[in-house]
Amino acid sequence: MVVVASRRVADQRFAREARRLITELAGPNADRLRRAAVALQLAEIADRALGSDGPLNWTRLKDHDEIRGLIAKLVPDLEQMDSVGRTKQEFHIPGRILHQPSFKTPSGRASFKPHPLPDLAALGERQLRLMTVRSEGQFNTVVYEEEDLYRGQERRDVILMNVADIARMGLKHNEAVNVTSEAGVMPNIIVREYDIAAGCALMYYPEANVLIGRAVDPRSKTPSFKSVVVNIGSATGTVALISKAELANGRKSSRDDMKAC
């Protein structure tokens, strides 16, 4: 009975803290509070599941500086990360910048290993081989900006295709299509012309993860993020387009938020 009551008090305290953060998310510190809310939730879940009396004190890891300090202790050459939250100073990882072609190998030269390419099955008339990528305005799976400066895209619900594939399938630039794989479907995706090899296509993750199957490489245990056969079909609806001028007028940069991570 005491355990149940104690857990109820903890739940209420967690709910109050979450509500406090939510009410402040529209304020001037919105981006900082969103990151704090994520850290709070993950640490709270870990504390409930594992407790904080073991090797890790999950309660303390609600603080980003505590997380950075732990990384600095565990990962070689990242000792300076311990002070980043206080100093705001960026740093280079030792040994990563090479001004001379000298490498830490027995010969002092770079070593390359050839790998045979797998035999890929032929694609159907409406099929492409999809790779998923990050955008320029993205850090891991956290998307800070819709625009991708690297590839000249102002939105993420797009599939970048070779112009020959677009013509072969009777499609047009900015036309909406449904993209389907054995794992899932993404409806109303915008077709965009892009300098990519014929037979290939590109989409952004994590949104496109719905198209990735559960099978993994036997050695690396990595899913086929860079080689998924997808079918391009007719869309079921229409998609509103926004011009780059409209995007520029309404853009709020989040570059400082990316650095803050």
For the segment 19-71, what is each residue's pLDDT rounded down to a tens digit?
555 555 555 555 555 555 666 778 888 888 888 888 888 888 888 899 999 99
Report the run of H or E that residue 41 belongs to, with start and end. helix 30-50
Specify whether the CB–CB gap between 164 and 206 falls below 8 A.
no
Cβ of 2: how many Cβ atoms within 10 Å?
6
pLDDT tens string 139-198:
888 888 899 999 999 999 999 999 999 999 999 999 999 999 999 999 999 999 999 999
pLDDT of residue 258: 45
Q: State how far the Cα of 208 lies from the Cα of 83, in Å rounded to an integer.
A: 36
Domain 127-243 falls in which CATH fold? Barwin-like endoglucanases (2.40.40)
Angle at CA 149, nearest 5°, toward 143 and 92? 75
What's the mean pLDDT in 206-232?
92
Specify whether the CB–CB gap between 203 and 176 falls below 8 A.
no
The structural domains of the chain, with segments of one domain joined by +, span 2-87, 127-243
What's the mean pLDDT in 240-257?
51
Specify whether the CB–CB gap between 247 and 154 falls below 8 A.
yes
Q: What percent of the chain has pLDDT over 90?
A: 44
Residue 121 or residue 245, greater confidence: 121
For residues 66-90, b (16+ Cβ closer than 10 Å) or e, as one string? Answer: bbbbbebeeeeebebbbebeeeeee
User: Which of 182, 184, 177 lies closest to 210 in space, CA to CA?
Assistant: 184
pLDDT of residue 17: 56
Give the end-to-end CA distance of the chain in Å, rounded to a whole number.
Answer: 42
Half-sphere exposure of 118 (CA within 13 A, CB side): 6
